[in-house]
């Protein structure tokens, strides 16, 4: 070996001695793999189970203490473990954690494990769920090519289509909603009802946390089924200057809703008057009802249902009509327009909110803001 090569090797070994503590590679380590568990976004009540392996790559047996959950906001449990009192040299064992979504908010905790080895006195395994708010999927479960829709996925030469991803792919169960949608029926006091209940007044979206107004099934007659009549129509109107887009809309389309009176103003057939009446009533035990945004309304749309719809889960929303529903979202450019969602197929476009002829349906929502 040349003197130059010996010199380079000596320098390399000296640098390695500085960068790597003596005996580190031989000593090995005790660690979890993966180093954290991410349970993703979950609907209320959904359960997900993940496991982490504890690996002992040292040359010594290590006595393990008790594993505990720390800062648990609720929902996490240690479902099982194969780890005993001692983990032998070069051996592995497993901890299985289960998360049940009790909230849609960020839920963080950690698994902590003590040992009798001074090199590893405390191990921590971070746990996280609902880092990002869950969103409803489209309901589409079939794929297409350049000429045909409704094909079984995957389709050659047409990869990565909507139906191959998301909740309608990974959570396609029908126990509480179609193709990834998840709903809970609520009674007049906001209490949970079983999925098979024949009467209910509101619906909680377990994915978004929003609670939606449910109306009696429409019979084609305006105002004959009380305040929440599905056949009633309203003009878009808002005195909230932060949300009116520069134009409050119109207050009075005439006798288009239950209890219509020319006076007082609270009984006119416009969206703001209707919101106020429902809040005064305390529908389903809540007093914070509002007109939904266009994106919130679109979250109810099931695009797997073809025209003429209604493009929604009718087992939870049997009152839905195949027509436009007002959103609270004003048009960004034109002050005379606001967005509506058409439940005949799930499209959305704008309507003139300051025309007396622009009267259409409303479904109120609460939560989520």
State the sign of the Cα–Cα–Cα–Cα dihedral 217, 221, 222, 226: negative
Residue (of 275, 273, 271, 258) closest to 219 by Cα position: 258
Domains of the chain: 27-129 (2.60.40.10), 202-369 (no CATH)
Query: By the 8 A CB rule, do 280 and 149 touch?
Result: no
Q: Cα-Cα-Cα-Cα dihedral of 213, 219, 221, 222, to 10°?
A: 0
Helix H or strand E encompassing 154: none
DSSP summary character for residue 118: T
Rg (CA), the chain: 29
Question: How many CB atoms neighbour CB 127 within 10 A?
Answer: 23
Per-residue pLDDT at 172:
72
- Is this structure's pTM higher than 0.75? yes
Q: How far apart are CA 1 and CA 297, in angstroms?
A: 77
Peptide bond into 34 cis (omega under 30): yes
Per-residue pLDDT at 5:
40
Query: By the 8 A CB rule, do 93 and 110 touch?
Result: no
Q: How far apart are CA 160 and CA 140, in angstroms?
A: 13
Per-residue pLDDT at 358:
82
**pLDDT tens string for the chain (369 positions)?**
444 444 434 333 333 333 333 333 347 999 999 999 999 999 999 999 999 999 999 999 999 999 999 999 999 999 999 999 999 999 999 999 999 999 999 999 999 999 999 999 999 999 999 998 788 988 898 999 999 999 999 999 999 998 898 888 878 777 777 778 999 999 999 999 999 999 999 999 999 999 999 999 999 999 999 999 999 999 999 998 888 778 899 998 889 999 999 888 899 999 999 999 999 999 999 999 999 999 999 999 999 999 999 999 999 999 999 999 999 999 888 888 999 999 999 999 989 887 766 899 999 999 965
Per-residue pLDDT at 60:
94
Q: How far apart are CA 147 and CA 238, in angstroms?
A: 45
Per-residue pLDDT at 356:
66
Per-residue pLDDT at 2:
43
């Amino acid at each position: 070996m040349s003197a130059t090569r010996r010199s380079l090797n000596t320098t390399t070994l000296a640098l390695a001695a500085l960068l790597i503590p003596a005996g580190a590679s031989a000593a090995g380590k005790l660690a979890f793999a993966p180093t954290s568990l991410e349970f993703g976004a979950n609907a209320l009540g959904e359960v997900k189970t993940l496991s982490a392996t504890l690996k002992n790559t040292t040359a010594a047996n290590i006595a393990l203490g008790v594993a505990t959950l720390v800062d648990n906001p609720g929902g996490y449990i240690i479902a099982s473990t194969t780890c005993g009192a001692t983990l032998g040299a070069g051996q592995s064992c497993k901890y299985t954690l289960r998360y049940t979504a009790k909230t849609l908010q960020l839920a963080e905790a950690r698994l902590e494990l003590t040992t009798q080895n001074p090199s590893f006195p405390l191990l921590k395994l971070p746990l996280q769920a609902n880092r990002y708010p869950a969103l409803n999927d489209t309901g589409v479960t079939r794929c297409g090519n350049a000429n045909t829709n409704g094909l079984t996925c995957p389709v050659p030469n047409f990869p990565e289509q909507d139906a191959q991803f998301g909740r309608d792919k990974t959570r396609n169960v029908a126990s509480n909603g179609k193709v990834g949608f998840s709903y809970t029926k609520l009674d007049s006091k906001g209490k949970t009802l079983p999925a098979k209940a024949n009467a209910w007044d509101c619906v909680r979206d377990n994915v978004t946390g929003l609670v939606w107004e449910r109306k009696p099934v429409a019979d084609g007659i305006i105002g004959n089924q009380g305040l929440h009549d599905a056949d009633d129509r309203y003009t878009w109107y808002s005195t909230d200057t932060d949300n009116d887009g520069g134009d409050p809309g119109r207050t009075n389309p005439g006798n288009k809703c239950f209890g219509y009176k020319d006076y007082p103003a609270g009984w006119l057939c416009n969206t703001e008057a209707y919101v106020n009446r429902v809040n005064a009533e305390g529908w389903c035990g809540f007093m914070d009802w509002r007109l939904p945004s266009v994106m919130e309304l679109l979250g109810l749309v099931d695009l797997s249902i073809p025209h003429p719809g209604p493009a929604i889960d009718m087992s939870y929303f049997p009152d839905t009509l195949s027509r436009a529903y007002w959103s609270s979202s004003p048009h960004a450019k034109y002050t005379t327009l606001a967005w509506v969602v058409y439940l005949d197929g799930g499209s959305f476009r704008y309507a003139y909110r300051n025309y007396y002829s622009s009267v259409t349906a409303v479904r109120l929502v609460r939560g989520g803001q």
